[in-house]
């Protein structure tokens, strides 16, 4: 049984992922597995797809869910 992955949308920020996730390439090959990280949703990160905190300096404001 796989672990339950949690994705939490942060107010005016990233999407926090809690749990282990396999990152796969276009052919479905696992490139890496990461645990407990944040995905960028503002488009300003220099470490995409990960959040690097740039949303704060960019003044990112997300629409309400």
Q: Which residues bind ligand FES (CB under 6 A)?
A: 13-14, 40-42, 44-45, 51-55
- The single residue listed with the structure tokens 């939490």 is 8
* Tally of residues, the chain: 65
Choice between 13 and 19, CB closer to ligand FES: 13
Structure tokens at 43: 């488009």
Distances in Å between the Cα of 57 and the Cα atoms of 13, 23, 33, 42, 54 are: 11, 28, 29, 11, 5
Minimum CB distance to ligand FES, residue 42 (Å): 3
| Closest separation in Å from C-beta 63 to ligand FES | 14
Considering beta carbons, is residue 3 or 9 the nearer one to ligand FES? 9
């Amino acid at each position: 049984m796989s672990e339950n992955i949690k994705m939490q949308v942060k107010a005016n920020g990233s999407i926090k992922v809690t749990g282990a996730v396999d990152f796969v390439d276009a052919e479905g090959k696992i490139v890496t597995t990461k645990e407990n990280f944040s995905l960028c949703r503002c488009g300003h990160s220099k470490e995409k797809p990960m959040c690097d905190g740039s949303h704060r300096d960019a003044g990112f404001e997300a629409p309400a869910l």
